[in-house]
Amino acid sequence: MQIVKKAQAGSFESSDIMVLVEPSEKSGRYIEINSSVDIQFGEQIKHAINRKLDELQVVDIHLIAKDKGALNLTICARVETAVKRAAGVQKGFIS
């Protein structure tokens, strides 16, 4: 999937994650993660995001995630929605 514009999904609530995506200036994935459970789950969050991006066949992306302890399935859902919005596949809005 091709990221063509900025998009976001999620919230800053506890147990949720805010995912912001935009086209990356250089080729490749640039992922920044900030998590309240970084010590305990940092690696797993990164892994979940990358796996979802693999699945959606996203090659070039700048992704910023602010996590407040979201479960893996929440992370995947938020990433998928943000990517689809940014690819123009799914409608959504930036508030």
By C-beta, is 6 or 46 nearer to other proteins?
A: 46
By C-beta, is 3 or 70 nearer to other proteins?
A: 70
Sites of contact with other proteins (CB under 8 A): 14-15, 36-37, 39-44, 68-72
**Main-chain dihedrals φ then ψ at residue 16, nearest 5 degrees:** -125, 175
**Rounded Cα–Cα distance for residues 69 and 55 (Å):** 23
Rounded to the nearest whole angstrom, what is the least distance from the CB of residue 75 to other proteins in the complex? 10
Rounded to the nearest whole angstrom, what is the least distance from the CB of residue 72 to other proteins in the complex? 6
3-state DSSP percent of the chain in helix, strand and coil, to 5: 35, 25, 40
